[in-house]
Structure 1
Amino acid sequence: MSRRLLLPCSMLLAILFLVWPVGAQSVLQLTLPNRPDSVKFMAMGDNGTGDDGQYQVAQRMVEAHRVFPFEFAIMLGDNMYGSQKPADFVTKFEKPYGPLLDAGVKFYAALGNHDEQTNRFYKPWNMNGERYYTYTKKNVRFFVLDSDYMDPKQLDWLTGELKKATDEWKIAYFHHPLYSSAGRHGSETDLRLVLEPLFVQYGVNVVFSGHDHVYERVKPQKGIYYFVSGSAGQLRKGDLRKSALTDTGFDQDMSFMLVEIEKDTMSIQTISRAGRTVDSATLARQKRN
């Protein structure tokens, strides 16, 4: 075949690559129950790069929402990298997640070490100017923390809120993981010494974090389920050092989580940038006295 014939073919392939999203040929196979009255949400961390990868993962989120209409999304910190001027909130948040925002999905953010403290005043993140806060969705109470500065005032607030919470499910989320098998950062043991006793004492059921740019489902620790989901915009490929902590994990591509809670059951599905399900599980709420 002549070079003159090869050139148009290569140009055509390049055009197709530009207009056809990564993995667009795959169709999400939902593993969640998708019951009408359940609590449905998405979890993502370390997303705010403004790069192609973030946009590709965001497209998967939009596709997932079509078949699994989650009401809200939890953001696990490092929601913005680099410049954080008003224009950056457009390119790193409003554009990639625009279809979800238009569909009425609400985002509830925790701050990470790359986020500026003033980001808590950004209205679409529903932080209402607070570094830490709580909210309820049906039978689930969420506790959002600022793990970058765990000061006594925040701990006193958390203790008081946990004490008075009577919800069936208590979920905490923040940026730095108490348990992680990733090589770059790993478990934040100092933070664990402070938070884990409170979580155990007051019946926290689930903890979500980011920071490590991998996905990991940790084996239950003292009756609590821990997840690391820090690869919605960043990936540290090959960083997961599977250990005795690891139930399952994935570090070969970016990913995000879908979560469904009904009565005493939580179902999760973790989806890669290519649209592949890399983890799926149904977990029972641990009974507490």
Structure 2
Amino acid sequence: MKLTRGTFLAGVLGEFTGALDHTALFDLWSNWSLAQGPIVVGEPPAIELPLQDKSLRFAVIGDNGTGARPQYEVGSLMAKTRAKFPFEFVLMMGDNIYGRKSKSAFKRKFEDPYKTLLEDGVKFYASLGNHDDPNEIYYQPFHMGGKRYYNWKSGNAEFFALDSTYMNPAQLTWIEEKLRESSAAWKFCFFHHALYSDGRFHGPDLDLRARLEPIFVKYGVAVVFNGHEHFYERLQPQKEIHYFVVGNSGQLRRGNIRPGPNLAKGFDTDQAFLIAEVVGKEFYFQTISRSGNTVDSGMIPLHR
């Protein structure tokens, strides 16, 4: 069926009359957005990271799996950015696949938007969000190895992916053990729900913070990446831990940041992604909007 504005509006009406379920409506909207013409993006901004030899480089996206035009535009800009800043892998903050979870949906909502990156051998490491199917842990391109939570080392850093939707005692025991055993200089944790957030719609997950933050502090976690809020936010350091929210790589909730005392930088007017570089005892980051502007950048020294 050819998707036109009229078809899309008919789907909306169908939702209100019960003729369409929520996932069908979501997919109808994303298909309609793609039908509006070719994906064209501008050039990335000047890279503000050091690009040191043998440094560790990666990117971060979150709440990206819409299959709609903004996701494709971000994916295209990421590929252009990688030509200037060759990152090795991408961390995913969850809500990797919205709507239906068919084989064709994985292609349209992941494989196609990041086709160039995947063909170039860039690995994606996913965490699960509240809109994800737990069976995504078996989808090989997400490199989860059949596990809801997992870890791996790269250079002088170690990464720990958690499932914040189902934070049970077994997972808490696992993360404490793995952090205790880690000898990495840099410890990065990433998962969906934000421990700190200035979002009007969700806000911080205080229960999750009470369970995870003491473990992070005890074992020297340096940086935590989250999603769930559909914007970008960098928080003031909390107990020497640096928190980033990157939940607008596909979704966007405009005007949703309610500035509070913990806000260091916020961006809620466009989609975005983050690139990062670890150089010895320094962590550099740069956040880039879908329109190709730098919205945040800086350097974090290792304190531990």
TM-score (norm 2): 0.87
State the superposition RMSD in angstroms. Answer: 1.0
Identity of aligned residues (%): 46
CA-to-partner distance for each residue in 1:69-122, whole Å, 9 max, x for gaps? 000000000001000111111000001101001111001000000000001000
Aligned length: 269
List aligned pairs for 1:251-270, cutoff 5 A: 251-270=268-287
Q: Partner residue of 1:78?
A: 95
Alpha-carbon distance, 1:265 to partner: 0.4
CA distance in 1, matches of 2:84, 2:90: 15
Q: Partner residue of 2:52?
A: 35
CA distance in 2, matches of 1:267, 1:217: 13
Q: Partner residue of 1:236?
A: 253
Retained in 1: the 8 A contact 2:39–2:69? no
Alpha-carbon distance, 1:286 to partner: 1.5
1:184 aligns with 2:198: no
Alpha-carbon distance, 1:29 to partner: 1.0
Q: Partner residue of 1:165?
A: 182
Secondary structure at 1:221's aligned position in 2? Answer: coil
Retained in 1: the 8 A contact 2:39–2:72? no
Q: Partner residue of 2:67?
A: 50
Secondary structure at 1:220's aligned position in 2? Answer: coil
List aligned pairs for 1:14-33, cutoff 5 A: 18-19=37-38, 21-22=40-41, 24=42, 26-33=43-50
1:213 aligns with 2:257: no
Q: Partner residue of 1:285?
A: 302
Aligned with 1:125 (options 130, 133, 142)? 142
2:263 corresponds to which letter in structure 1?
A: T
Q: Partner residue of 2:105?
A: 88
Instruction: Find runs of 4+ consecutive structure 1 residues off by over 2 angstroms.
Output: 17-20
CA distance in 1, matches of 2:188, 2:44: 30
Secondary structure at 1:148's aligned position in 2? Answer: helix
Secondary structure at 2:166's aligned position in 1? Answer: coil
CA distance in 2, matches of 1:285, 1:242: 27
CA-to-partner distance for each residue in 1:238-289, whole Å, 9 max, x for gaps? 00111101001100100000010011100000000001000011111122xx
CA-to-partner distance for each residue in 1:137-161, whole Å, 9 max, x for gaps? 1100001000000000101111110
TM-score (norm 1): 0.91
Alpha-carbon distance, 1:167 to partner: 0.5
1:66 aligns with 2:94: no
Alpha-carbon distance, 1:20 to partner: 6.5
2:139 corresponds to which letter in structure 1?
A: Y
1:59 corresponds to which letter in structure 2?
A: S
1:155 corresponds to which letter in structure 2?
A: L
Q: Partner residue of 1:11?
A: none
Q: Partner residue of 1:246?
A: 263
Secondary structure at 2:236's aligned position in 1? Answer: strand
Secondary structure at 2:164's aligned position in 1? Answer: coil
CA distance in 2, matches of 1:27, 1:108: 23
Q: Partner residue of 1:12?
A: none
Retained in 2: the 8 A contact 1:28–1:63? no
| Structure 1: gaps (5+ residues) | 1-16
1:194 corresponds to which letter in structure 2?
A: R
Q: Partner residue of 2:159?
A: 142
CA distance in 2, matches of 1:202, 1:27: 37
